[in-house]
Amino acid sequence: MQGERTDLPNTRRERFWKNVEIKGEEECWNWKHITHVGNRYPTCAGGEVHRMVYKYTKGPIPKYNKDGRKIVVRHLCGNKICCNPNHLVLGTQSENNIDRYKIDGAKKLTNEQVLHVKNLRAQGQTYAKIAKLYNTSNVLIRNVCIGKGTYGGIV
C-alpha cells in the first residue's frame, strides 16, 4: 500500500495517517514523529499511537478479557513505533512479555530495517540507542552492524 489512505473520511484520521510511513503490508509502518528513543510508545493527541491505529482500523479495544486480565495492544513485530495494523493484535501484558523475550532471542529484521540500523550506526548512534528503538538487544544490533549472525536480513 502506498501513499495516502482514502478509506478514512474523518479528517482527524487523515491527519493521523499522514504521520505514518505507510509501506507494504508486511513491512513496519513507522510513526514519523519520534520525540524520544526509548522504551515508551510514541503518543499523539488521541493517546498512544499504536492504540489509535488499532481503534481506527479494527475498532474499540476491550478493557479486560474473559479472565479479567487487562487487554493491551501488542506489536507482533516488536517495533514500538510501528503503525501497521497487520502487526497489531490484542493480548495481555504477560503475553507481551513473552513476545519481548522471543523477539530478543531471535528477532528477524527486514532488509529495510537492517539498512536503517546500519544508517543510524553510521550516523554515530550507539548500539544501545538503536536497540531500544527496535526493542531488542544490543548484541543483535551489533551483529547487524558488523554483519554477523542470523538476524533475518540479507543486506
Chain positions contacting Zn ion, by CB under 5 A: 28, 77, 79, 82, 84, 87
In terms of CB distance, is 83 or 120 closer to Zn ion?
83
Please state, in angstroms and as integers, the Cα–Cα distance from residue 6 to each residue in 10, 13, 14, 137, 139, following that order.
10, 10, 8, 38, 41
| Nearest distance in Å: CB 31, Zn ion | 11
| Nearest distance in Å: CB 28, Zn ion | 3
In terms of CB distance, is 69 or 74 closer to Zn ion?
74
| Nearest distance in Å: CB 53, Zn ion | 10
In terms of CB distance, is 20 or 120 closer to Zn ion?
20
Q: At what angle do helices 138-146 and 111-122 cross, to 10 degrees?
A: 90
In terms of CB distance, is 79 or 135 closer to Zn ion?
79
| Nearest distance in Å: CB 124, Zn ion | 25
Cα pseudo-dihedral 145, 109, 32, 7, rounded to 10: 160
Parallel, antiparallel or unpaired: strands 88-92 and 71-75 = antiparallel
Q: Which residue has the cell 531500544?
A: 132
